[in-house]
Amino acid sequence: MYCCNFLELSIADAGKKGIAVLALSTEYGRAFRLQFRACDMDDEDTLQNIPKDYDLPKLRLVVQTGLRYCPACGTNLQEIIKLHTPEFDALAVAHKRFVLG
Ligand SMILES: [Zn+2]
């Protein structure tokens, strides 16, 4: 279901610190998301325990945007979704806890 090595590795990095590609399925359709995390999702709880008076730098833990084409090879990702819909849907279920919004 992958157009190239970048997509396969980025999908495998869902929820980890750095760049990842996530599968998203909603009532509006299926799509990929490009996500950037400042820390692993499992470490977010640790950050919640930092004392309120501790002077932390302003940062965003997670940002995310839509992804129509593979950033590495240019493949239209909707074509991958159409060719591999059952596999994409299973991925979307697995990624649900990582996706914003
Ligand atoms: Zn690709």
Of 31, 4, 35, nearest to 21 by C-alpha is: 35
- Segment among 28-42, 47-61, 69-83 with least mean pLDDT: 47-61
Report the distance separating Cα 24 and Cα 46, nearest Å: 26
The alpha carbon of 8 and the centre of ligand 1 are apart by a number of angstroms equal to 8
pLDDT at site 81: 97
- Segment among 17-26, 53-62, 63-72, 91-100 with least mean pLDDT: 53-62
88-91 CB contacts, 8 Å cutoff, 24+ apart:
88/1, 88/23, 88/25, 88/30, 89/25, 89/30, 91/11, 91/23
The alpha carbon of 69 and the centre of ligand 1 are apart by a number of angstroms equal to 8
pLDDT at site 36: 96
pLDDT at site 91: 96
pLDDT at site 68: 97
pLDDT at site 9: 97
pLDDT band at 42 (very low <50, low <70, confident <90, very high): confident
The answer, yes or no, to whether residue 93 has pLDDT greater than 90, is: yes
pLDDT band at 51 (very low <50, low <70, confident <90, very high): confident
Quick one: residue 75, left, alpha or beta (phi over 0 = left, psi -120 to 50 = alpha)?
Answer: beta
The alpha carbon of 3 and the centre of ligand 1 are apart by a number of angstroms equal to 4
Per the model's pLDDT, the better-predicted residue between 45 and 14 turns out to be 14
The alpha carbon of 77 and the centre of ligand 1 are apart by a number of angstroms equal to 8
The alpha carbon of 80 and the centre of ligand 1 are apart by a number of angstroms equal to 10
